Amino acid sequence: MTKIRFQNTRTRRKDAFSPIDPSDVRMYVCGPTVYDRAHLGNARPVVVFDVLFRLLRHVYGADHVTYVRNFTDVDDKINTRAAETGRPIRDITDETIQWYLDDMGALGALTPTHMPRATEYIPQMIAMIETLIERGHAYEAEGHVLFDVTSDGNYGSLARRSLDDMKAGARVEVAPYKRDPMDFVLWKPSTGDQPGWDSPWGHGRPGWHIECSAMAFDLLGESFDIHGGGNDLTFPHHENECAQSRCAHPEGGFANVWLHNEMLQVEGRKMSKSLGNFFTVRDLLDQGIPGEVIRFVFLGTHYSKPMDWTARKAVDAEATLRKWRKMTDGVAAGNVAPAVLDALGDDLNTPGAMAELHRLAAGGNAADLKASAGLLGILDETLGEWAAAPDAGDAVAARIEELLAARTQARSDRDFARADALRDGFAAAGVVVKDTPEGPVWDLGPKFDLSKLEGL
């Protein structure tokens, strides 16, 4: 059996993976808050933990892995979106969940075993909160229920932070009803225009953290194997999950292994609306970038490292995938290469696995290339329709070179209006052009849009 080792956030070391029950390997991954389209950064944990899901299914058997990824469909951001649009909350969350499933499906993500919605687990959340109160770990104050962090001697152990350090670094307004500045909300009151449910503490709604603990307990039990998510969730979300879960169910260990993926950058910079480099998965798909290409780019960086999305990487990924698809067309899948399994077993080393795919392709081993790529979720026949179209990379390059030649001619003819129009057109289309002594050179920027070149 393939040996698997993970860099465990909980232990801060690379541990050998030994599931609690090899006949039911259990994994929980924090899913999206559903009020808008998923941006590119939201897609990274989906691809990371989809590869892990595939690896576990390959090693332990498809029927012996349970994967839970939730939807947060009760949240103040959703309430705000409903107020802004005048639409019912359920309409917004239903629509956004379907968008998410469509977009992640386009990236080749398998459907998790369970995809619970927070609003379907309110009774379980209330029951867990009642248990925490009974055991002295939570208290009611002014219609709120709060977790008492001082009641948990291990609070801060996941993030490696002490309570004193957390209080010193806190930049939040402390509500007067809190016993300790770090106490967090388990339940809060709802006004008439906010979603709410009846509870022993009045009409209200759950805090953010309690939902994952309640759903994980209901679907996976008091102890399970792996908990995943972005590293921005380590504190406070995952820390608070750990605290309330171990205090409500001290007989269990909650999650044995914690895996956190790093964040995404665009062209070397943090993705931000203020920088103009923020885009959704749907934006890229609508620009004609296939989901398989997006996935390929993601796999080239280890999940624990910041991933830099660039248009050049996407062009190169498309070219490689076209060659591999042509090579494996009509070929029956062979065996997954041992080196691919070894790489994935070594803390999900997707760059190492991808390097092995390149070696298989260079050696002409089409059958094993197809099987090995399939374990990574690429070269799947359900994702290959895009490859039947003409090579967009060649077409883009030809069009840009044609327009650059036209700009050079316009300058030669002293038709500066035409030259300036082409310059502005390149900028609008996201094509970065630099004039050098040897002639113009170009690259594709993060918001390249082929359609904006058509009218030039």
The residue with greater pLDDT, 352 or 172, is 352
Q: What residue type is assigned to position 78 of the chain?
A: I
- The boundaries of every CATH 3.40.50.620 domain in the chain are 5-261
The strand pair at 307-309 and 431-436 is best described as unpaired
Q: ∠ CA 224-228-234 to the nearest 5 degrees?
A: 110
Q: What residue type is assigned to position 154 of the chain?
A: N
pLDDT in tens, 116-128: 999 999 999 999 9
Mean pLDDT of 214-218: 98
Among 38-52, 249-263, 349-363, 406-420, the range scoring the smallest mean pLDDT is 406-420
**With 0-12 CB in 10 A as exposed, 13-18 as middle and 19+ as buried, what is 436?**
exposed
pLDDT at 386 > cutoff 90: no
SS3 310: coil
pLDDT grade for 397, boundaries at 50, 70 and 90: confident
Half-sphere exposure of 41 (CA within 13 A, CB side): 17
The strand pair at 25-29 and 65-69 is best described as parallel
pLDDT at 22 > cutoff 80: yes
pLDDT in tens, 64-76: 999 999 999 999 9
pLDDT grade for 271, boundaries at 50, 70 and 90: confident
pLDDT at 157 > cutoff 70: yes
Report yes or no: 183 and 146 within 8 Å, Cβ to Cβ: yes
pLDDT for 173 equals 62
Of 176-185, 264-273, 363-372, which one has max mean pLDDT?
363-372
- Distance, CA of 395 to CA of 153 (rounded, Å): 62
The dihedral built from the CA positions of residue 308, 311, 316 and 321, taken in this order, carries a sign that is: positive
The CATH homologous superfamily to which domain 5-261 belongs is HUPs (3.40.50.620)
- Distance, CA of 415 to CA of 420 (rounded, Å): 9
Report yes or no: 1 and 207 within 8 Å, Cβ to Cβ: no
Q: ∠ CA 241-118-51 to the nearest 5 degrees?
A: 70
- Distance, CA of 223 to CA of 234 (rounded, Å): 19
Report yes or no: 2 and 59 within 8 Å, Cβ to Cβ: yes
pLDDT at 390 > cutoff 70: no
Residue with tokens 């280890």: 302
pLDDT at 210 > cutoff 80: yes
pLDDT at 282 > cutoff 90: yes
pLDDT for 27 equals 98
pLDDT for 433 equals 87
pLDDT at 166 > cutoff 90: no
Kindly write down the DSSP assignment for every residue of 84-102, as one continuous string: HH---HHHHHHHHHHHHHH
